[in-house]
Amino acid sequence: MAEILKINDISVSYGSIRALSNVSMSVDEGAVVSLIGANGAGKSTLLKAIVGLEPLKNGSISFDGEVIAQTKHHGSLSTDLIARRGIALVPEGRHVFADMTVEENLDMGAFMVRDQELINKRKEEMYEFFPILGARKKQKTRSLSGGEQQMMAIARALMSSPRLLLLDEPGLGLAPLVVQDIFNKIRIINQENKVTVFLVEQNARLALRSSSYGYVLENGKIVLEDKGEALLMNERVQKAYLGA
């Protein structure tokens, strides 16, 4: 498979603190790739860097062969232009518009689309894919459960028809059965909708089981990478992340 995302030797700093240090990795088109690591390892920073929300100290990020982010001296695309290229981020904590209805949130996800007929079609597809959203489309988002809000955040991201979906802790704070349902939806999005998925998830076991390939990030550096099933069997991963 061809690479759709290429991260080449990037570093990101917050003042004197180095959040990412010379990170290189790639995501093949059509794959599900996971990034695991402890809190504070730099996982969310990496996703933000991909969509242009964190500037790079060095290195570059390419999407479908085009450089979308690099050091400020060489220029990077703005976040909205990166989104237009086909990348959507579901941030940690969902960040829904609580005082808007479900339908209005989905409309926000289609801000780049000018064809109202197409927007309506995509909303109906989301209601079919997430039936609970269809049943509650006129409700304020704040009235939804955490799992329902996570589904809505994913649906909102899918409204732009991305080629690459970035998911930051999709299972955070949710009950185990809800998390399993979310990951089942992720699998369908990948396999049936043909969307490449790059996910950050603290539930390392579930993330690696769901992924064809995985990376381990520690203190801002990639320390391991392998097929998802191989990382599940890795002694270092088992001790640090799987409770073995």
- Per-residue pLDDT tens listing for the chain (244 residues): 699 999 999 999 988 899 999 999 999 999 999 999 998 899 999 999 999 999 999 999 999 999 999 987 677 899 999 999 999 999 987 688 889 999 999 999 998 888 999 999 999 999 999 999 999 999 999 999 989 999 999 999 999 999 999 999 998 888 899 899 999 999 999 999 999 999 999 889 999 999 999 999 999 999 999 999 999 999 999 999 987 5
Give the bridge partners for 69, in sequence order: 61
Q: How many of the other CB atoms lie within 10 Å of CB of 70?
A: 19
Alpha carbon of residue 154 to chain centroid: 9
What does the radius of gyration of the chain's CA atoms come to, in whole angstroms? 18
Q: How many of the other CB atoms lie within 10 Å of CB of 29?
A: 14
Report the distance separating Cα 36 and Cα 43, nearest Å: 8
Report the distance separating Cα 35 and Cα 218, nearest Å: 10
Q: How many of the other CB atoms lie within 10 Å of CB of 77?
A: 19
Distances (CA, A) of 17 to 11, 203, 219: 11, 26, 11
